Structures are given as C-alpha cells and as structure tokens.
Amino acid sequence: MCFYIASFALPWLLPLANIVLMVLSAVLIVDIILLYAGSIRLRAERVTTKMLSLGDANTIAIFITNYGGLKTEMDLYDELPYQLQRRNFHFKEYLGAGETKEIRYEIRPLKRGEYHFGFLNAITSTTLGLSARRLQLAQPQMIPVYPSVIQMKKFELLAFARISNFEGVKKLRRIGHSYEFEQIKSYVQGDDIRSINWKATSRRNSLMVNQYEDERSQQVYTIIDKSRSMHMPFNGLSLLDYSINTSLVISNIALKKYDKAGLITFSHSIGSTLKAESSELQLKKILNALYYEKPQSHEANYDLLYRAVKNIIRSRSLIFLYLNFESSYAMERALPVLQKINQLHLLVVMIFENTELIEYSRKKVEYVSDIYAQTIAQQLLNEKKQIASRLRKYGIQVILSRPEDLSINTVNKYLELKARSLI
C-alpha cells in the first residue's frame, strides 16, 4: 500500500509495487494451501473426572496432538459452561510436527448441577502467519457438579491417619472406653491402668492392657435447614452448600467408622429423608440426594422437623443440625423444638459465624459513620455468641464455626463425641 501511495509522486515505484503485490499474493496462496491441504492436522481431547466437586479447584486437562508435517502456532479457546462466567478464556501454544502437549487449568464451580462444555476452538496459523483457520476440537460434553468429593476424600485421610502432624484434625485422649473389645497389647505410658489385663500380664511377665475400639453401628444423622436463612453467600458458596459439602464428609467418615449414616433436609416442608444405614450403597444415596437439593425461600418449620425426627429416627442417635440463626428471636422460636430433640438424641447444632462482619469490624476507622457501623457489626457478632451460649445452657452441643472451617469442626466434634463415648 505504501508503494502505491508513493508511486503517485514517484511513478517509477509502480512496477516495484506490482511485483511486491504479486509476491505477497503468491505467499498468501501458499499459506492458505498449507493450512487447508492437510499439512496441519490437529486432534484434541478434554480429560476430567466423571464429576466435579462443588467449591473446590478441579483440574481440567487438554491433550492436543499435531499429526501434520508443519509447525503451527495456535490460540486455543475452550467453551466453558455458562455457570463459570468466563468469556475470554484461551491459551497460546506452539506445536511442532508430530508433537503432543498437555494443557492444564483449574475451575471452581460454585453451583451444583450440569455443566456443559462446548468445543475446543483452535485458531491455527503457519510460521508465515498471513492467514488463520479455525478448527473445532474436543467434542462437547456434560460433567455434573456434585457436593465436594475432594473434601470427602481429604478429611477421610486426615481422620483415619495414625500420625498427628496433620493440621486441623485433633487427636483426642479417650476418657474411659467403650464396650467393644479389640485386642490385648503391651502397656505403654499413658494407657489407662484400669484396662490392665492381669491374667495376660502374669502369662507374659510384662504389663498387658485391653484395647477397646469405638462402638459400632451407631446412628449419625445430618439434618440441613434449606430455608431462606441459608442463602447467604461466603466466598461464592451459600451456607446451604457449605452444609451439603460437610454432610457428605461426615457421612463418609461415619460409614468408615462402621456407624450408620442418615440424612434429613427441611424448610417449610420435609425434603430428602434417608434412614440411617451402613450398606455399601448408602454413601451413593446420600451423594445423589444432596446433589438434587435446592434452596427454598420459605421460613423453616421446626415443629414439622420435630415430627419428622420422631417418626424417622426411632433410636437414640447423634444429630448434626445445620442452620443459621441471625437473631436471638429466631433462636428463641426454635428453642423448644431443639430441647425436645435433644432429650431424645444427642444434638449438635452448627451455627455460622458471619466472616464478612468480622472483617468489617476490624477495619481501620476513617469516618464517624464507620464507628456507628462497626458498633452495629460488633453487636451482631456478640448476639451470635449469646445464641451459642444460650443453647449450651440448655445442654445442647453447639459449634459456632466459620463457613470455610465447617467440615473440620464437624469432624473434630464427631471424633470427640466418639472418644468420650457419648453416643
């Protein structure tokens, strides 16, 4: 173009401009032929797990191979599910002839349900770079997002590890023991002297003690409030989703401890109900039930919950109840029902701390209005603590937990109650 413009002032440049145009046209034609004549042949595969975990970083791998005979430069655009809201997601790669590359990226789904991946679009060009071609690779696929299986496996490992250098899960000293005999072992410092087996000691001429294991086949229920008070989001996940993830974690650990796990969800009506069982399929039933749970916009009906508990849970059980009291009035309204349930079963009420209020109350004050706002935040935080104290006053076990610490606190409470033989 510059040559043609200059040729108006310098006519002798016109032939040179025509020669340059013909050369560029020839190179462009060659570039197009190389792109479309099979010199660049790509194949790609998107590899992931059968299901994605809610709220966790899930790894997606893409394997792409160049079966052609030329090196290619490409921009890869993966069509992600609409739930992720990521529109300009791409990678720039160089792929030699016969070369295979693995590309990994992570996604963090924040809602349960079906996630539909589209095509993997490759915008390819040769080293000449004069033209580009779009190829659609890696066929569309649907991957469901279930409650966090990643967290379930993680806490299973921590809860059953014999070493104590993991952060989070506490190793608790057993107070007394349960009634299920496991084995006779040599005495070591710290063992309960009341467990000494004197007959075995006389035979071995060294101190021997009876070792007991946790009682098995106890019922552990998780009850989830899915009313509007559980809609509050923290770090992208609602309180309901935090409760669902934790329910899967504690149900898995209970089953691994040979206890029976069950599930009840409720709001203005009773949702999913699974009687406590210890069968091999029970965890899958719980996982599928939690997958289909939806938040409700109604108030929780605690009287209905009490009738359901009385009809479904026939024998004394450990109950983890996940709910969210934002005011003392809401707690007082539910307190009579919680007391009745606690008389029949061992009830543990899980209440959420408002982490955003905690962070706001610690911010540096700049204006007078900030003082008033922080004072109100402190009052709301103190009210949460008062709610927990009032429930404990009536003999109800309470965990006031940050949403992100809910799983670890629930596991610790379960192990503590098992160690103390309270269930």
CATH number at 333 reads 3.40.50.410
Position 54 scores a pLDDT of 95
Model-wide pTM > 0.85: no
Alpha helices in 37-163 (DSSP H): 149-160
185 and 254 belong to one structural domain: no
What single-letter amino acid sits at 67? Answer: Y
Position 406 scores a pLDDT of 94
Rounded distance between C-alpha atoms, residue 252 and residue 233, angstroms: 25
Q: Which domain range does residue 94 map to?
A: 42-146
Tokens of 193: 């002297």
**Which domain CATH number covers 70?**
2.60.40.10
Q: Are 246 and 403 in contact (CB under 8 A)?
A: no
Alpha helices in 296-367 (DSSP H): 302-312, 328-344, 355-361
225 and 189 belong to one structural domain: no
292 and 379 belong to one structural domain: yes
95 and 241 belong to one structural domain: no
114 and 153 belong to one structural domain: no
Rounded distance between C-alpha atoms, residue 370 and residue 355, angstroms: 18
**Cα–Cα distances in angstroms (integers) from residue 193 to residues 196, 211, 371, in the given order:** 5, 11, 58
156 and 287 belong to one structural domain: yes
Q: Are 240 and 231 in contact (CB under 8 A)?
A: yes
Tokens of 121: 């679009």
139 and 157 belong to one structural domain: no
Q: Is residue 106 part of a domain?
A: yes
Q: Is residue 124 part of a domain?
A: yes
Residue among 312, 290, 302 at smallest CA distance from 227: 302
CA 422 to chain centre: 30
The count of domains in the chain is 3
199 and 254 belong to one structural domain: no
Q: Is residue 8 part of a domain?
A: no
Residue holding tokens 């009745």? 340
Position 163 scores a pLDDT of 39
Q: Is residue 30 part of a domain?
A: no
Q: Is residue 13 part of a domain?
A: no
**Cα–Cα distances in angstroms (integers) from residue 409 to residues 34, 38, 233, 399, in the given order:** 61, 59, 19, 7
Q: Are 249 and 407 in contact (CB under 8 A)?
A: yes
Rounded distance between C-alpha atoms, residue 396 and residue 401, angstroms: 16
**Cα–Cα distances in angstroms (integers) from residue 319 to residues 87, 184, 189, 300, 350, in the given order:** 44, 33, 35, 17, 10
Q: Is 22 exposed, middle or buried (0-12, 13-18, 19+ CB in 10 A)?
A: exposed
**Domain end residue (candidates: 146, 161, 191):** 146
How many C-beta neighbours within 10 Å does residue 13 have? 17
What is the sign of the dihedral through the CA atoms of 2, 6, 7 and 13? negative
337 and 225 belong to one structural domain: yes
Rounded distance between C-alpha atoms, residue 116 and residue 104, angstroms: 18
**Cα–Cα distances in angstroms (integers) from residue 279 to residues 143, 153, 287, in the given order:** 27, 19, 14
Q: Is residue 366 part of a domain?
A: yes
Rounded distance between C-alpha atoms, residue 398 and residue 412, angstroms: 13
Beta strands in 67-170, from DSSP E residues, in sequence order: 72-78, 90-95, 100-107, 113-117, 120-125, 133-137, 141-146
238 and 333 belong to one structural domain: yes
246 and 372 belong to one structural domain: yes
pLDDT tens digits in sequence order for the chain, 423 residues long: 666 666 666 776 677 767 777 777 777 777 777 777 766 788 889 999 999 999 999 999 999 988 877 788 888 889 999 999 887 778 888 888 888 889 999 999 999 999 999 998 888 877 777 777 888 888 899 999 999 999 999 888 877 764 344 445 555 454 444 455 567 888 887 677 777 888 888 888 888 887 765 556 789 999 999 999 999 989 889 999 999 999 999 999 999 988 999 999 999 999 999 999 998 899 999 999 999 999 999 999 999 999 999 999 989 999 999 999 988 999 999 999 999 999 999 999 999 998 888 887 877 877 777 777 888 888 888 999 999 999 999 999 999 999 999 999 999 999 888 877 776
Q: Is residue 36 part of a domain?
A: no
84 and 158 belong to one structural domain: no
Alpha helices in 161-313 (DSSP H): 198-204, 239-256, 282-291, 302-312
**Cα–Cα distances in angstroms (integers) from residue 250 to residues 224, 292, 357, 411, in the given order:** 13, 19, 28, 6
Position 104 scores a pLDDT of 92
Rounded distance between C-alpha atoms, residue 194 and residue 198, angstroms: 10
Q: Is residue 236 part of a domain?
A: yes
Q: Are 321 and 230 in contact (CB under 8 A)?
A: no
Position 89 scores a pLDDT of 79
